[in-house]
Structure 1
């Protein structure tokens, strides 16, 4: 039913030079190198995002290459395009999408190690995978995603109507009040609009605490993350989302978000609470059949929501699936997902770096002709 595609005790790169490799090893930067999301393009190439939540991450966007039988990461689309300090290059990518035209939509957080995002660094980058060329790079301004508090997390793409929806978890600095929200990008006008700003569904659930394997997720402090997981129904009419520190699933009709004349107050009042998933969730992805797949942090696996009868189900679980982060489709009937031990890597816990299964990319078969929402 499910299998391991590749695994690591810790991430490693196919470095362009010895100096970069020695710096990475000497400073033990791999201890904070967390694979956030994995996707596969139409040619079968695998990609991995590694957000720069700490200093020393060699490249934030990567493709997997195999050298001497070992899976390594290599900067994508180039090392120069991942250069730290260049606001025109990729600074920190967590969420991204590969659409039905084989174009990669990269959401650049702009911030490194939770420092404020430099002006011009927060952006939506569109890359043509067929031609290996830049299509566009659109800066996300401070008034849409505040440089201090923003934590641009994930996105979904609607090419049929010409919109992209982004989540801002609002946890860009632990000492500042959380400011979650949803950002709507209009492809035609190249403009952004922030909606559901600090609305209850995009904030952390009040006084929420959770555990994995009976351990508090963060040892010495409460974890607070707003709007995070996001998914779009195959008919493009419903946007699903959730916060990490909470178990509810929320939805809103995209017609309200596409019409800029709709008042923000009306949008706030139109949020649907679909119920509890029974688990905290990071990443989500909808298929072309009316199912929404979501990661189960407490349940250590993947669950799914059947939109036809609004029911929640467990799909697959394994004790090694510690903090399942991203989930996507390979367009051949399977979901692809990864686990990264985020709660241990950043939560104050020790990790056995000799364990060859610390970080894993998984594949699980769903069914014939089941694909991403993008192909609905």
Structure 2
């Protein structure tokens, strides 16, 4: 256990903003989405704006007098809600082998339609501390009403980025999941597997954590979510949250924008059931895929060489394990955020005095195990 909170708090520089945050109890919907570490050992955490009042959506963790606080990254100005030119709501992001951060901006706040120009892929150089690029993701690629840009993987060797759109941006509407491919060289975007069975929620799917149904009054429906790129960059793995299957597709088909969409759909492989619902995924440099276990309360691993799924680590406090990443020193880092309790309607309020509501974990998985990004 590296960091833990009863609720998230920020290193505020504006007393008025701090007062507003506390008065409106905005921390009740401040959920750590994904955690990652850079080459200098700095920890970052995204806090998506799924409700009003989140001070900053992208953050670096700082420790003040022994207390972990969030500090807006790269600045307060870059986290200004309502300014579509800067970060609006970040859930998924990646730190690549060149120490560049790829930020996937969902654009939408509190599930309102994404304003034009708000959905984007922002590239930030952590070494020079400079903005490298900001790529607009337009309505024709990710519909502003239904889109829910979730997570991404980066392939610098071939020059592509792969993004999951969970398609649940309109909660009262049918899911419209898909995969988005970005060509770094041409700066073109293409949407594939739109509403394909593998990117959709499983019809009628229900699941429980600790025998308690998740979102009892309005069952969760989320399409393609977790995403992982194989070490050799040849296979893209992905999965919905409301379903247990792991799917895969050949990246050669995704990189060639002339391949018919129908052919890509036919090439999808159902790897099999993980025996658990999954949120975040990440592949290592050995060819394995690590996935979070919502029902199993922990992290599991799929080995393509043996086609075996197995549990790696589990703990009763690992309630809704979200993102998985690597510290490049043999360990995985991940967080548990109680999403199913924090956003459950009609449920008793969480015990906000409990010090382990939100946790960032670290688990050793093997010598020389690193992210897929560091594969030879």
Question: 1:191 deviation in Å?
Answer: 0.9
Q: Identify unmatched segments of 5+ residues in structure 1.
A: none
Query: Aligned residue for 2:72?
Result: 75
- CA distance in structure 2 between the aligned counterparts of 1:354 and 1:175, rounded to whole angstroms: 33
Write the deviation string for residues 191-243 of structure 1: whole angstroms up to 9, x where unpaired: 10000000000000111000001111103111000000000001000000000
Pairing 1:305-316 to 2, within 5 Å after superposition: 305-316=302-313
Corresponding residue SS for 1:120? coil
Pairing 1:66-145 to 2, within 5 Å after superposition: 66-145=63-142
- CA distance in structure 2 between the aligned counterparts of 1:128 and 1:39, rounded to whole angstroms: 15
Aligned length: 373
Write the deviation string for residues 160-216 of structure 1: whole angstroms up to 9, x where unpaired: 000000000000011121100000000001110000000000000111000001111
Query: Aligned residue for 2:354?
Result: 355
Q: CA RMSD in A?
A: 0.5
Query: Aligned residue for 1:371?
Result: 370
Query: Aligned residue for 2:254?
Result: 257
- CA distance in structure 1 between the aligned counterparts of 2:132 and 2:98, rounded to whole angstroms: 12
Corresponding residue SS for 1:62? strand
Corresponding residue SS for 1:97? strand
- CA distance in structure 2 between the aligned counterparts of 1:8 and 1:200, rounded to whole angstroms: 38
Matching of residue 166 in structure 1 with residue 136 in structure 2: no
Question: 1:37 deviation in Å?
Answer: 0.2
Aligned with residue 207 of structure 2, among 184, 206, 210:
210
Q: TM-score, normalised by structure 1?
A: 0.99
Corresponding residue SS for 1:175? coil
Pairing 1:226-241 to 2, within 5 Å after superposition: 226-241=223-238
Query: Aligned residue for 2:339?
Result: 342
Query: Would the aligned equivalents of 2:232 and 2:287 in 1 still touch at CA under 8 Å?
Result: no
Corresponding residue SS for 2:198? helix
- CA distance in structure 1 between the aligned counterparts of 2:288 and 2:327, rounded to whole angstroms: 16
- CA distance in structure 1 between the aligned counterparts of 2:353 and 2:333, rounded to whole angstroms: 25
- CA distance in structure 2 between the aligned counterparts of 1:93 and 1:25, rounded to whole angstroms: 22
Query: Aligned residue for 1:49?
Result: 46
Matching of residue 20 in structure 1 with residue 20 in structure 2: no
Runs of 4+ in structure 1 over 6 Å off: none
- CA distance in structure 1 between the aligned counterparts of 2:64 and 2:276, rounded to whole angstroms: 38
- CA distance in structure 1 between the aligned counterparts of 2:143 and 2:338, rounded to whole angstroms: 28
Q: TM-score, normalised by structure 2?
A: 0.99
Query: Would the aligned equivalents of 2:80 and 2:87 in 1 still touch at CA under 8 Å?
Result: yes
Corresponding residue SS for 1:256? helix
